[in-house]
Amino acid sequence: MPLSNDSGVSLARIKEDFPVFHEYPGLVYLDNAATTHKPDTVINALVSFYTRENSNVHRAVHRLAERATVLFEDARRAVADFVNAVPEQVVFTKGTTESLNLLAYSLSLSEEFKTFIAPQFEHHSNFVPWQQMSRRFGREFIPLEINGAELELDTLERVISNRKNGFVLAVSGLTNSTGFKLPIRQVVDMVHKSGGIIVIDGAQLIPHEPFDFEDSMVDFLAFSAHKMLGPTGIGALVGKRELLERLPPFAFGGEMIDRVDLHDTTFASIPQKFEAGTPNIAGATGFLAAIDYLNGLNRTIVAEHIERLTSLCHEELSSIPGLRILSPEKSHGIVSFVHESVHPHDLAEFLSQNFDVAIRSGHHCAQPQMKGLGIRSSCRASFYIYNTVEDVEVLAKGIRNAVRWFG
């Protein structure tokens, strides 16, 4: 199958759109789960905003302010369309972490939800807020036990069935530590049947495959622009309208109010109710450009391309003696591994210094998951649209060399 996007541009040439690969032609960048690189259209959007539109939004009536407001709301519309939601359902945040903190705090203030549940494999951003808000507000917190890298539906069923009170399940659509993909539809049905609501941490999932918020029946979805070609410092919280309307705001200040009196305040409607202060306007224009770039690709072919690289990586790495793959056999975009005789940090440093390969080593902000796997840290290779078969081959060659060197 030709690896091409809708306009016929070869995926193999995608690297040309990314200035970082002109700067460092030999770079094999496999740390995409941490953050992705930016195409020139995204970089240009940021420069263009500060050059031509820079102004605050939703306030003044002068020309620049009006242009900035239109751009900002265009970005919201693009984010909404990208996941099939409506603009009122999209709250701009700093990123996934802030989206999840906002939710954990606001849901803690509601008497409706007495229990928060998060699997052991979650990124700290989707674990610590629920754990800490439970402690602060006297809610029950249940860390769901994980054997290996996958959530077993029987374990989930045991925990959520017969609950007397409303609960929240906060779970990743795709885990960052191993690339386990959640069977979302099944889990959503189970949660709703038991009277709970579901929050999907989409930080890894949304960059990788088309997602239909409306059709998914998910209650809340969080993701970050920087993991899908956009700038850092901006992301989104998407929620069901009636839930967003019921939730109290998280932060107070300018632009989130309706009317302020000396002793009380009423709040703006959604989504402004959750956007106190000057937002990341330039970031929103970059987010818009990133979505435009992704929309210009045939996303099914891109997803298949990444799947192919992931399974090639499994194949190559599983033939290296002493190397243990921690990811599920069918992981998505991510392969995590350890070697019995080389420390993950030594391996990552060797790969960078000798092969210009960038992978992540460490606990991947998922210490409870590392504990469950019986390790303290691991190596992680993660793929995105500009990676190639050669990138996987250089990674495998580099690891073999490292094993010989350290062995």
Q: Which is nearer to ligand PLP, 120 or 176 (CB)?
A: 176
Q: Which is nearer to ligand PLP, 230 or 271 (CB)?
A: 230
User: Catalytic positions, please?
Assistant: 365
Closest to 239 (Cα-Cα) out of 274, 290, 285:
274
Q: Which is nearer to ligand PLP, 289 or 342 (CB)?
A: 289
* Closest distance to ligand PLP from the beta carbon of 326 (Å): 16
Cα within 13 Å of Cα(113), Cβ side: 27
* Closest distance to ligand PLP from the beta carbon of 401 (Å): 28
Alpha carbon 361 to its chain centroid, in Å, reads 19
Q: How far is CA 183 from CA 171, 247, 281, in A?
A: 11, 27, 35
The C-alpha angle with vertex 292 and arms to 291 and 296, in degrees rounded to 5, equals 115
* Closest distance to ligand PLP from the beta carbon of 122 (Å): 7
* Closest distance to ligand PLP from the beta carbon of 224 (Å): 3
Phi, psi of 23 (to 5 degrees): -65, -45
Cα 368 to Cα 49: distance, rounded to the nearest angstrom: 41
* Closest distance to ligand PLP from the beta carbon of 121 (Å): 9
Strand stretches in 225-353, DSSP E? 235-239, 257-260, 265-267, 323-325, 334-339
* Closest distance to ligand PLP from the beta carbon of 341 (Å): 28
Tally of residues, the chain: 407
Cα 376 to Cα 152: distance, rounded to the nearest angstrom: 23
Closest to 207 (Cα-Cα) out of 121, 80, 282, 294:
294
| DSSP per position, 99-146 | HHHHHHHHHHHSTTEEEEEEETTS-GGGTHHHHHHHHHHT-EEEEEP-
Helix H or strand E segment including 346: helix 344-355
Q: Which is nearer to ligand PLP, 268 or 358 (CB)?
A: 358
Contacts of 13 (CB under 8 A, 6+ apart): none
- Which spans of this chain sit near ligand PLP (rule: CB under 6 A)? 33-34, 95-97, 123, 125-126, 172, 176, 201, 203-204, 224
Q: Which is nearer to ligand PLP, 204 or 378 (CB)?
A: 204
Q: Which is nearer to ligand PLP, 106 or 204 (CB)?
A: 204
Give yes or no for a contact between 250 and 106, defined as CB atoms under 8 angstroms apart. yes
* Closest distance to ligand PLP from the beta carbon of 227 (Å): 6
Burial 261-273 (b: 16+ CB within 10 A, else e): eeeeeebbebbbb
Q: Which is nearer to ligand PLP, 31 or 219 (CB)?
A: 31
- 3-state secondary structure at position 167: strand
